[in-house]
Amino acid sequence: MPSFVDGPTLRSLLRPSTNGRRTKASDGGGGGGGGGIFKMFKLMPMLTSGCKMVALLGRHNRALLADHATTVTLFGHRRGRVSLAIHEDTRAPPVFLIELPMLTSALHKEISSGVVKLALESDTRSARRRLVEEYVWAVYCNGRKAGYSIRRKEASDDERHVLRLLRGVSMGAGVLPAAPEKEGGVPAGPDGELTYVRARVERVVGSKDSEAFYMINPNEGGVGGDSAGDSSAPELSIFLVRMK
């Protein structure tokens, strides 16, 4: 069975935004670097002091976001694996949560290129399940196969800690304090630092077996970014496909 990465399913999802908006991000300053959130991510060492603000936001029992925009969060310990969470409402548990078969450091390298395209394929098929409810996924990052992952039914203690801290954050990138050891977290330090990228996305449904999520440019409110000379390419795009 051919991979959808090289097939027509992906090409059908790689189309302009449904609302026709394609806006340029602010000037990336050359070198093919991404704009918007990826620029913020590259400044993470300078954002460590902002952890206190994120921690304060996380103490609220209710979310500080009023809207229900679809949100994607990539997070993980610097020397651990990266997790992906998709929220339809940040005040509720994620509708899709998976630990990707790649290290956070590898994701950082991909981010430095300015564009990250994650493709997840499921070979299982059930008429009673939504696409985001499938369990086993083959994961590709920028066209290269990273391995296989199993969707989580419930978040781990570390994942709940991150999602709680980010409850009041709509988009951004930075470093979070690790969870206390008594709560099952990794001790603070070089290995314990948690990094995150959170973005609002536009959801494009190709069919019951294919969906795509395109990062909304935080500078202009549209989809797209100035990366590698392609002003129409979102910095972050995620594709979910169930193979027939």
Section 76-103 average pLDDT: 92
Query: How much is the pLDDT for 100?
Result: 96
Is pLDDT at 212 greater than 90 in this prediction?
Answer: yes
Instruction: Report the percent of the chain where pLDDT is more than 70.
Output: 58
Domain contains 64: no
Tokens of 105: 């450091």
User: How far apart are the C-alpha atoms of 136 and 240, rounded to whole Å?
Assistant: 12
Section 39-62 average pLDDT: 43
User: How far apart are the C-alpha atoms of 225 and 235, rounded to whole Å?
Assistant: 6
Domain contains 228: no
Whole-model pTM?
Answer: 0.71
Is pLDDT at 170 greater than 90 in this prediction?
Answer: no
Domain count, the chain: 1
Section 52-63 average pLDDT: 40
Quick check: helix, strand or coil at residue 196? strand
Residue 103, H or E segment: strand 96-103
DSSP state of 216: B
Q: How far is CA 131 from CA 8, 199, 214, in A?
A: 18, 21, 17
Section 95-101 average pLDDT: 96
pLDDT band at 47 (very low <50, low <70, confident <90, very high): very low
Domain contains 139: yes
Domain contains 177: yes
Domain contains 120: yes
- Regarding predicted confidence, which is higher, 45 or 36? 36
User: How far apart are the C-alpha atoms of 121 and 239, rounded to whole Å?
Assistant: 8
- Give the strand pairing for 144-150 and 136-141: antiparallel
Domain contains 9: no
Q: Which of 58-62, 170-174, 178-182, 188-192 shows the lowest mean pLDDT across its residues?
A: 58-62
Query: How much is the pLDDT for 193?
Result: 77
- Average pLDDT taken over every residue of the chain: 73
Query: How much is the pLDDT for 173?
Result: 86
Is pLDDT at 140 greater than 90 in this prediction?
Answer: yes
Question: For residue 196, which of 166, 232, 221 has the smallest C-alpha distance?
Answer: 166
- Regarding predicted confidence, which is higher, 188 or 154? 154
Section 223-243 average pLDDT: 69
- Give the strand pairing for 144-150 and 172-176: unpaired
Domain contains 117: yes
Q: Which range has the top average pLDDT, 31-40, 69-78, 123-132, 210-219?
A: 69-78
Domain contains 20: no
Domain interval for residue 202: 71-181+191-218+234-242
